[in-house]
Structure 1
Amino acid sequence: MDRIEESGSAVSSRAIEGKPSTPEEYDIVVLGSGEGSKYLAWTEAKQGKRVAVIEGRYIGGSCPNIACLPSKNIIHSAKVASYFQRSEEFGISKENVRIDMSVVRDRKRRMVDGLVQMHLDNFKASGAELVIGWGRFIAPRTIEVALGDGGTRVLRGSKVVIGTGTHATVEPIPGLREAGPLTHIEALELDYLPKHLLVLGGGYVGLELAQAMRRFGSRVTIIDRNERLVHREDEDVIAGLHSLFESEEIELVLGAKVQRVEGKSGVSVKLHVLRDGVETILEGTDLLVATGRTPNTANIGLELAGVALTERGYIQVSERLETTAQDTWAIGDCAGSPQFTHIGFDDFRIVRDDFAGGHRVTTGRQVPSCMFTDPELARVGLSEKEASAQGIEYRLAKIPAAAALRTRTLSETRGFWKALIDTKSDRILGFTAFGVEAGEIMATVQIAMIAGLPYTGLRDAILTHPTLSEGLVALFSSVPAIKQ
């Protein structure tokens, strides 16, 4: 498989040769073993259903193998490295500090091996059958599988769920594919430190890995077509991230369009970049592409199954994740759901309830997010930009992260917290935190929002001192009064 053709699902574009065998009948057949898919399979199998899950490569999906958890493992190693770099602040000498990327990689690999074994144990305990191979539809609810150890099987389900995921987008820029760039998969497998890493794309993946590699010791340059990082976020968030990256000496080349690429990643690469009408050349040793995701929906026979796609190539689904084909559902990234593992898990709950005759839907659900830079950026509910665009009036409460005194004991005082409060009630409309452990702090506020608690519930709570969560008392004590 080409190094930039990621496939975290049970699909492949290769043809399956020979005559198809007689279909094996199942209650449920699931294509792909990602977050929503595996939980659905385990749940239904435990209830006595005959369930088969087809997976070509990554048992458990991309999250435990090549994405969320492995990347956070590497990012934590980079966090430890950053403490060594500032160790004198803590009264510790930093003589003879050296980063061994092979050890960093092996720590990550050990974690992944443990997670894969955990998934195998769960499949065995649930009774769901895990079929290792590459699947494609040959008829409605019927999937032919090229088995990983040779041969073919044909599986037909009374119900079928598609969870084939997405892969890293490699844009059709002249010379880019030929340069053999890294995606996040290869970046997490590096056993050497790039001398100068060029990062194409300023989204979650690009920013997280850029900071990590810089902390390990690489020179890092981020190239993005937009004029500012995370340009859809509020201005204070944008400013905070720009300041953070500049303080860590990560070079930003923004408002730039790559015209063509020369060279080979891992040796020497040149990016011909157009910026403000002027073409310049950026040179580096390694190139990471992080410019978005493409759904794994091509060449898997969806047209033979009666499954329609959107214009962007995602599977067309209803609010209950039903496809255009009878008794066929899609789940997770390939269905166009927000690309977070926690949303994939919620997709599982929607389909599970649909199977049981319930009516759980995707519309109106909260979509919390966290970018695991250091400090983290976490948000749930409305941002200021979103509230203004929707004509929603709000009261703004905002404090520096240092107002949570625990940050001072950790020497992690960068950033801020803010909350949007309804102008006519005490309802919390949104929360954003840019600071240490922002994702954990956000969860507390999100639970209050789910429960419909007024902000005063957190303002008046007795929270343990000194903890980060205690800062919520300070935040919500700063909410302006309702104007009479």
Structure 2
Amino acid sequence: MTDLIIIGAGPGGYETAVRAAKLGLQVTIVESKHLGGTCLNEGCIPTKCLCHSAEMLDEIRGASSLGINAENITFNLEVAIERKNQVVAQLTSGVAGLMKSPGITLVNGKASFKDKNTVCVTKPDGSVEELSAKHIIIATGSVSKFLPIEGAHSENVVTSTELLDMTSLPKRLCVIGGGVIGLEFASIFNSFGSEVTVVEFCKEVLPNLDKDIAKRLRTSLKKRGISFHVDAAVTAVKTLEDGSSEVCFTEKGKEASVNADCVLMAVGRAANLESLNLDEVGISYTRRGIEVNADMQTNIPEIYAIGDINGICPLAHAATFQGYRAIDHILGNESEINLEIIPSAVFTVPELASVGRSEEQLKDADIDYKSHKYFYRANGKALSLGADEGLVKILADENGKVLGAQILGAHASDLIHEVTLLMSNGGTLEDIAKTVHAHPTLSELVLAAAES
């Protein structure tokens, strides 16, 4: 019997394995598909590769204002996909190297529970191996959701996984879902040259984020040529005689439709609960995911669940730090990891990032706050970069304690970490204001917002 079995080698799984091994535990990690999980192979990393291609294409197209004349600009999607594959291969190779570290044993196969300390692993050749450990961490991630509608699985309907391998640029792309995944791909393919339409069920895109910032982002993307239908429920995807698709939806009580050559189903992800045999062990779970406490422990004390599988926070970095929290608990250490403050980012153009609570959440909780804003157009570095669109918004209580922040604009995903660090240490606006910031930098946007 080993010390720990981890089921799933995504960011949560493999990073937790490395941490556990460094702390002296003997770890066996089981993976049925790709090392690196969804994030590395079908999500975060490959998407960001295409984001970079899109950003570079946009910059080149706008280079004339900088005195740079670029003519006959062309884009080759096949080359962009090949570069994406090379980046993924390089990082996957790195993870494979980590899995050879002392104290870690990698087993390829699909795991299911036999009892609270034992899993059965069905290997690619059909053989089955039983593995036992004092503790088990489930980190099997999530899978794409589909709407229960006519044509949801028709030929032109793809998930983000298939779209990331598409080498032929669709002339018309319809994105069902205005969440993070949907908007990132809408932004990417708009830059690549596709005619993009987004259909979102809620009244605003990114329904879980600050509505003010979400609306500003939608307005920005609309100016770039992306069409939006919000408060719209998709009812069917029909295949037309010419092979294209018609996406039918009800928008504010009226029937409408849009034609597309490719339809991206981006209506969220569901916990990957299949084949784990959870009922055999009596692990409590809901449709959202496996139920856990603050230390990621399930109702079975020996078993933990981290990442998308528990439905708490569907972010790769959240999975990693949840894993660290679980290891602390397994070793009997008091964890200093604060899982209440987790930043998130949307890699559209412009970027959007947030941490802590939104205005809506503060209002719902009846918490008094003040909004402190500062706009990119007033920042010297932003103007010099030609990135004057966006703002920093910091929400603080009457004592200046920071409760949340949202940033829309260039490098928002980098800037948000100053506020994240501050919040993790119970900081205030005064702490930002008395900290010297280099000039000219985009970081001064955070300083100016704190001083406003």
Structure 1 residue 379 corresponds to structure 2 residue 354 = yes
Which among 320, 333, 342 is matched to residue 358 of structure 1? 333
Unaligned runs of 5+ in 1: 1-24, 479-484
TM-score using structure 1 length: 0.89
Aligned to 2:142: 166
Aligned to 2:370: 395
Given that 2:204 and 2:211 are in contact with CA atoms closer than 8 Å, whether structure 1 keeps it comes out as no
Percent of paired sites with the same residue: 29
Distance 1:191 1:388, change over 3 A: same
Give me the whole-angstrom Cα distance separating, in 2, the residues matched to 1:41 and 1:232: 31
Distance 1:212 1:392, change over 3 A: same
Count the aligned residue pairs.
Answer: 452
Structure 1 residue 274 corresponds to structure 2 residue 250 = yes
Letter in 1 for 2:377: A
Which residues of 2 match residues 241-256 of structure 1 at below 5 A? 241-256=217-232
Aligned to 1:408: 383
Aligned to 1:258: 234
Unaligned runs of 5+ in 2: none
Which among 206, 220, 230 is matched to residue 182 of structure 2? 206
Letter in 1 for 2:440: P
Given that 1:199 and 1:289 are in contact with CA atoms closer than 8 Å, whether structure 2 keeps it comes out as yes
Give me the whole-angstrom Cα distance separating, in 1, the residues matched to 2:425 and 2:350: 28
Letter in 2 for 1:332: G
SS at match of 1:213: helix
Aligned to 1:72: 48
Given that 1:319 and 1:363 are in contact with CA atoms closer than 8 Å, whether structure 2 keeps it comes out as no
Give me the whole-angstrom Cα distance separating, in 2, the residues matched to 1:394 and 1:277: 36
Aligned to 1:20: none
Q: CA deviation at 1:99?
A: 1.0
Give me the whole-angstrom Cα distance separating, in 2, the residues matched to 1:109 and 1:238: 31
Given that 1:198 and 1:220 are in contact with CA atoms closer than 8 Å, whether structure 2 keeps it comes out as yes
Given that 1:404 and 1:474 are in contact with CA atoms closer than 8 Å, whether structure 2 keeps it comes out as no
* TM-superposition CA deviations, 1:419-475 (whole Å, max 9, x none): 12211x132222111111112111112212222333122213221111111223322
Give me the whole-angstrom Cα distance separating, in 2, the residues matched to 1:58 and 1:319: 29
Give me the whole-angstrom Cα distance separating, in 2, the residues matched to 1:233 and 1:127: 41
Structure 1 residue 240 corresponds to structure 2 residue 245 = no
Distance 1:207 1:95, change over 3 A: same
Letter in 2 for 1:141: N
Letter in 1 for 2:444: E
Q: CA deviation at 1:47?
A: 4.2
Q: CA deviation at 1:83?
A: 1.1
Q: CA deviation at 1:201?
A: 0.3
Structure 1 residue 475 corresponds to structure 2 residue 449 = yes
Structure 1 residue 37 corresponds to structure 2 residue 13 = yes
Q: CA deviation at 1:388?
A: 1.6
Aligned to 1:226: 202
SS at match of 1:144: strand
RMSD: 2.0
Which among 307, 312, 315 is matched to residue 290 of structure 2? 315
Give me the whole-angstrom Cα distance separating, in 1, the residues matched to 2:88 and 2:57: 21
Give me the whole-angstrom Cα distance separating, in 2, the residues matched to 1:291 and 1:180: 16
Aligned to 2:428: 454
Given that 2:156 and 2:262 are in contact with CA atoms closer than 8 Å, whether structure 1 keeps it comes out as no
Give me the whole-angstrom Cα distance separating, in 1, the residues matched to 2:430 and 2:288: 45
* TM-superposition CA deviations, 1:181-237 (whole Å, max 9, x none): 211111111111111011000000000110100100001110111222224444431
Structure 1 residue 288 corresponds to structure 2 residue 267 = no
Aligned to 1:432: 406
Q: CA deviation at 1:298?
A: 2.4
Structure 1 residue 91 corresponds to structure 2 residue 70 = no
Give me the whole-angstrom Cα distance separating, in 2, the residues matched to 1:284 and 1:391: 44
Give me the whole-angstrom Cα distance separating, in 1, the residues matched to 2:172 and 2:115: 49
Aligned to 1:129: 105
Which among 417, 429, 443 is matched to residue 417 of structure 2? 443
Distance 1:361 1:167, change over 3 A: farther
Given that 2:217 and 2:350 are in contact with CA atoms closer than 8 Å, whether structure 1 keeps it comes out as no
Give me the whole-angstrom Cα distance separating, in 2, the residues matched to 1:226 and 1:297: 27
Given that 1:331 and 1:348 are in contact with CA atoms closer than 8 Å, whether structure 2 keeps it comes out as yes
